[in-house]
Amino acid sequence: MHPSKILLAALLLSTLALSATSSKVTYDGRAIIIDGKHKLLVSGSIHYPRSTAEMWPDLIKKSKEGGLDAIETYVFWDSHEPARREYDFSGNLDLIRFLKTVQDEGLYAVLRIGPYVCAEWNYGGFPVWLHNMPGVQMRTANDVFMNEMKNFTTLIVNMVKQENLFASQGGPVILAQIENEYGNVMSSYGDEGRAYVEWCANMAQSLHIGVPWIMCQQSDAPEPMINTCNGWYCDQFTPNRPTIPKMWTENWTGWFKSWGGKDPHRTAEDLAFAVARFYQLGGTFQNYYMYHGGTNFGRTAGGPYITTSYDYDAPLDEYGNLNQPKWGHLKELHDVLHSMEDTVTRGNISSVDFGNSVSGTIYSTEKGSSCFFANTDSKNDTTINFQGIDYKVPAWSVSILPDCENVVYNTAKVSAQTSVMVKKTNVAEDEPAALSWSWRPETNDKSILFGRGDVTANQILDQKEAANDLSDYLFYMTSVNLKEDDPIWGNNMTLRIAGSGQVLHVFVNGEFLGSQWAKYGVFDYVFEQQIKLNKGKNIITLLSATVGFANYGANFDLTQAGVRGPVELVGYHDDEIVIKDLSSHKWSYKVGLEGLYQELFSSDSSKWQQDNYPTNQMFTWYKSSFKAPLGTDPVVVDLIGLGKGLAWVNGNSIGRYWPSFIAEDGCSLDPCDYRGSYDNNKCVTNCGKPTQRWYHVPRSFLNNEGDNTLVLFEEFGGDPASVNFQTIAIGSACVSAEENKKIELSCQGRPISAIKFASFGNPLGTCGSFSSGTCEASNDAISIVEKACVGQESCTIDVSEDTFGSTTCGDDVIKTLAVEAIC
């Protein structure tokens, strides 16, 4: 056969195959419709660059097992286009591989192209070179910006199309998003902001992807964009047109953490309550932000002052472990909701007000009815009567009755296990008890002593413009000549610097003067220290160390970084204050550190000193070798004792570290009460401890055979003597479940070794502190649970008197099984 005919036949077969597997995605006022079927969809956010490609299959598998239908991700412009028209889709930036992994698991995908993403990501995902383009104004009707945004958006769409990954081509992507939360800030951009939104919608539609486009937090999203909700609760959200479904693109499963901030936690009960309320009141698509938070490797954390950990208290923790009971409690909810899909997405809706903050919603079809009963009172349980049957609805909870008769699920009653995770020491063969360290100083004499840089300007530059985000570090250097008759000269002089909130180290004539920094949400401060200057020439060197650029808010891209200015010498005399403004002096600039230019984090340089490493010395490099911890459990490195800096394992950046930044006060000793509206200041922990002590080292960064190398750049000064590698595994599993439930205990891949506690009756306490109550079953609960579970990786137990025997509890007591198992 002629080659052209072979090609034609292949194209025909390809077209036929595509048409046979492609899906039609539409919508109406109730739901997303896929191939004619109304869908109740549960999605979860996983950001591919915040894990590794080797982690993706396990994360997505666990997401599916948790009852998700779809995986949602942003697309990170700054990572994919680090320099204009230079692209990177390698390693954990391989978007196509990520989407195909989602497809392989049989899940849908939601592609939030943005390309502004927020996400506590550096500069909101914008590349800094974009900020530095002449004439650019970002996120508004500006030709320079819109041309670049269109170029990148088109690039992503074409890549996805080329691999047939849109549902219209037979792929997993059922929805795409343009822009992101612009409605929150649009008023600051005036008429040009409105024009920009119209342009975004038209540009997106012109790409013809064959699936719907969404705009989140955009109440006036133009047709045919679907406007969606983000927040802790979206049950009261109403779409801007009756012909589009009620969708929730970000249900915040916890919250991000910042250096110096507390650890936020959102309870499983409250999260489930928010989800159930949303579906009760007509929602049919919701996405967990985050389902797996992951790690801000490298310099990707934004804020500024967002931590390297982006755990988010998500259902899958930073390392990919199940965060129990949150994962399991939500899985049960998803299973119940999916069993009601047809009724909830197509049924007739009626409501009942039972009083006392309790409401009911009934979905009815010709096949049957499903009911939700919600109690929004934050304190009081209430008993209602529905169709002749009494139902007790706990405070701040939703009961779900798939048949409108039997309560199958209540958001406040958690029967999923609680997993207590523990950190275990590295027991790799012949691994020494303490790491051996070599070291070398960071040599920046040219900058600190002599003020020599690479470029000069007669002004103080924004660090984004001077450094173009090539490094956290930028030297600002100037000189000042003083004579004895200078009006400022005296015995009481200070150097005063207006900073931008980032970290600042100050040197005068080669001597360290002091440092200052802020915390999340603070974008300025004034550094002022007394100084001694020489007659004649004096060198002033300022080293700015950014901790991520701003990522959110109106005109966030204009938030200054580095030294804001002015920089002033202040002379305090008896009767007057004299100020010499150095801001318009000739300033010299140098980007980065010598050790970073030399790539000490990955080179085999022999210039490391082997003995007597210094401690508490600023700007010091440390290096050590270690064996990979045995097994497959996630690995962390404990950096206690260090100040602040950067860390690499085998040349892979594991992010910024800052264990010396102690979390602020404000934690309560009282147990967290799930009842009542949640925000990130509720249920916080870790006060008075290092903000982040442990740092994730993905297994794919490690050599299982031979040595591995850890390199640290210590900026503040610290002691690496206590640095060590550990693994994270489940140490114990607890469950507390009411009668007539089947519970599962699991040690997540390792055997259950013992049962520490088991009681069926009215046991007291919580995981780790269970005790017997006033009544118990006639049979020995520990023996029964031991027989069913010890030696097994997981076991299932029927919580009933049939299993444990009759109890001495009265009829008014709700019988409960409490178990604590050791893994």
Looking at CATH, the fold of the domain delimited by 39-323 is given as TIM Barrel (3.20.20)
Q: How far apart are CA 396 and CA 226, in angstroms?
A: 30
- How sure is the predictor about 16, in pLDDT bands with cuts at 50, 70 and 90? very low
pLDDT on residue 10: 35
Q: How far apart are CA 299 and CA 601, in angstroms?
A: 15
| Tokens standing for residue 481 | 């000549």
Contact predicate 310/371, CB 8 Å: no
Looking at CATH, the fold of the domain delimited by 455-592 is given as Jelly Rolls (2.60.120)
pLDDT on residue 161: 98
Answer left, alpha or beta for residue 655, where phi above 0 means left and psi between -120 and 50 means alpha: left
Which CATH superfamily hosts domain 421-442+599-728? Galactose-binding domain-like (2.60.120.260)
* 113 CB-near residues (< 8 Å, 6+ apart): 75, 153, 156, 157, 176, 177, 178
| Tokens standing for residue 136 | 């650019």
pLDDT at 758 over 70: yes
Nearest to 152 by CA among 71, 226, 223, 86: 86
Is 739-822 assigned to CATH 2.60.120.740?
yes
Q: How far apart are CA 700 and CA 295, in angstroms?
A: 14
Say whether 393 sits in a helix, a strand or coil: strand
Contact predicate 414/407, CB 8 Å: no
Nearest to 817 by CA among 768, 759, 776: 759
Tell the residue number behind the tokens 């049960």, with chain if given: 332
When computed from its CA atoms, the radius of gyration of the chain, rounded to whole angstroms, is 30
| Tokens standing for residue 299 | 């310099």
Higher pLDDT, 451 or 285: 285
- How sure is the predictor about 3, in pLDDT bands with cuts at 50, 70 and 90? very low
Contact predicate 259/501, CB 8 Å: no
- How sure is the predictor about 1, in pLDDT bands with cuts at 50, 70 and 90? very low
pLDDT at 99 over 50: yes
Distance of alpha carbon 637 from its chain centroid, rounded?
20
Say whether 169 sits in a helix, a strand or coil: helix
The answer to whether the 421-442+599-728 and 739-822 domains have the same CATH topology is yes
Nearest to 179 by CA among 125, 120, 117: 117
What predicted TM-score, i.e. pTM, was given to this entire model?
Answer: 0.96
Tell the residue number behind the tokens 């740092």, with chain if given: 695
Contact predicate 205/213, CB 8 Å: yes
| Tokens standing for residue 538 | 């004096």
Q: How far apart are CA 95 and CA 78, in angstroms?
A: 14
pLDDT on residue 575: 86
CA 685, 687, 691, 694 dihedral sign is negative
Answer left, alpha or beta for residue 436, where phi above 0 means left and psi between -120 and 50 means alpha: beta
Neighbours of 300 (CB within 10 A): 26
pLDDT at 429 over 90: no
Q: How far apart are CA 774 and CA 33, in angstroms?
A: 53
Neighbours of 377 (CB within 10 A): 18
CA 423, 429, 433, 439 dihedral sign is negative
CA 803, 804, 809, 814 dihedral sign is negative
Per-residue pLDDT tens digits for 146-155: 999 999 999 9
Does the bond joining 290 to the residue before it have cis omega, within 30 degrees of 0?
yes
Amino acid at 527: F
- How sure is the predictor about 11, in pLDDT bands with cuts at 50, 70 and 90? very low
Q: What is the mean pLDDT of residues 343-351?
A: 98
pLDDT at 19 over 60: no
Does the bond joining 115 to the residue before it have cis omega, within 30 degrees of 0?
yes
Q: Which of 120, 148, 250, 442 is catalytic?
A: 250
Highest mean pLDDT among 173-177, 430-434, 486-490: 173-177
Q: How far apart are CA 430 and CA 433, in angstroms?
A: 9
pLDDT at 12 over 50: no
Angle value at C-alpha 204, between 121 and 99, nearest 5 degrees: 55
pLDDT on residue 302: 98
pLDDT on residue 604: 81
pLDDT on residue 4: 39
Contact predicate 393/405, CB 8 Å: no
End-to-end CA gap in the chain:
65
Q: What is the mean pLDDT of residues 582-589?
A: 97
Nearest to 410 by CA among 336, 359, 351, 342: 336
Say whether 254 sits in a helix, a strand or coil: coil
pLDDT on residue 655: 98
| Tokens standing for residue 107 | 């899940």
Average pLDDT, the chain: 95
pLDDT at 629 over 80: yes
* 108 CB-near residues (< 8 Å, 6+ apart): 41, 43, 69, 70, 71, 102, 167, 172, 173, 174
pLDDT on residue 283: 98
State residue 724 phi and psi, 5-degree precision. Answer: -155, 160
* 99 CB-near residues (< 8 Å, 6+ apart): 109, 111, 160, 163, 165, 171, 172, 173
H/E stretch holding 752: none
Burial letters for 436-468: b for 16+ Cβ neighbours within 10 Å, e otherwise? ebbbbebebeebbeebebeeebeebbbbbebbe
Domain ranges in the chain? 39-323, 341-413, 421-442+599-728, 455-592, 739-822
- E strand map for 8-128: 25-27, 32-34, 37-39, 41-46, 70-74, 108-114
* 566 CB-near residues (< 8 Å, 6+ apart): 460, 496, 498, 581, 582, 583
Angle value at C-alpha 489, between 531 and 498, nearest 5 degrees: 50
Q: How far apart are CA 53 and CA 743, in angstroms?
A: 33
Q: How far apart are CA 707 and CA 651, in angstroms?
A: 13
pLDDT on residue 700: 98
pLDDT on residue 9: 38
Contact predicate 622/720, CB 8 Å: yes
108-114/70-74 β-pairing:
parallel
Q: Which of 120, 181, 341, 442 is catalytic?
A: 181
pLDDT at 2 over 50: no
pLDDT at 547 over 80: yes
Q: How far apart are CA 506 and CA 491, in angstroms?
A: 20
Burial letters for 318-347: b for 16+ Cβ neighbours within 10 Å, e otherwise? bbbbbbbbbbbbbbbbbebbebbbbbbbeb
Q: How far apart are CA 154 and CA 147, in angstroms?
A: 10
Full DSSP string of 259-315: TT--EE---HHHHHHHHHHHHHTT--EEEEEEEE--B--TT-B-BTTB-SB--TT-S
Per-residue pLDDT tens digits for 774-800: 999 999 999 999 999 999 999 999 999
> Is 181 annotated in the active site?
yes
Neighbours of 662 (CB within 10 A): 14
Q: How far apart are CA 378 and CA 758, in angstroms?
A: 31
Q: Provide, rounded to the nearest whole percent, the portion of the chain with pLDDT above 70.
A: 97
> Is 179 annotated in the active site?
no
pLDDT on residue 553: 97
Q: How far apart are CA 277 and CA 259, in angstroms?
A: 34
DSSP type of residue 688? T
What angle, rounded to 10 degrees, do the helices at 143-162 and 95-104 form? 40
- How sure is the predictor about 430, in pLDDT bands with cuts at 50, 70 and 90? low
Q: How far apart are CA 348 and CA 361, in angstroms?
A: 10
> In whole angstroms, how far apart are CA 328 and each of 22, 62, 407, 608, 667?
33, 11, 18, 49, 27
Contact predicate 595/514, CB 8 Å: no
pLDDT on residue 603: 78
